Amino acid sequence: MDFIFMLTRNDKTVEDAGCLVDQVCDLGVTHIGFKDLGVPMATMKEVVGAIRRRGGVCYLEVVSTTPAAVISSLHSAAALGVDRVLGGTDLAAAGNILGDLSHYFPFPGRPVGHPTQLEGSAALVAEHCRRARVMGCGGVDLLAFRATQADPLDLVRAARNALSGARLIVAGSVNSRWQIHALAECGVDAFTIGSAVFDGSFSPAKGSLRGQILDILEACDNAPKMAA
Distance CA 225, CA 48 (A): 32
Residue 36 or residue 183, greater confidence: 183
The predicted pLDDT at position 36 comes to: 86
Q: Which residues contact 98 (CB under 8 A, 6 or more apart)?
A: 74, 77, 78, 85, 104
Q: Which residues contact 5 (CB under 8 A, 6 or more apart)?
A: 24, 29, 31, 32, 33, 192, 193, 194, 197, 213, 216
The predicted pLDDT at position 183 comes to: 97
- Can you tell me the mean pLDDT for 76-105? 96
User: For the whole model, what pTM was predicted?
Assistant: 0.96
Asked if pLDDT for residue 110 goes beyond 80, the answer is: yes
pLDDT over 70 percentage in the chain: 99
The predicted pLDDT at position 227 comes to: 64
Distance CA 152, CA 148 (A): 9
Question: Which domains are assigned to the chain?
Answer: 2-221 (3.20.20.70)
The predicted pLDDT at position 167 comes to: 98
Asked if pLDDT for residue 184 goes beyond 80, the answer is: yes
- Can you tell me the mean pLDDT for 144-170? 97
The predicted pLDDT at position 228 comes to: 59
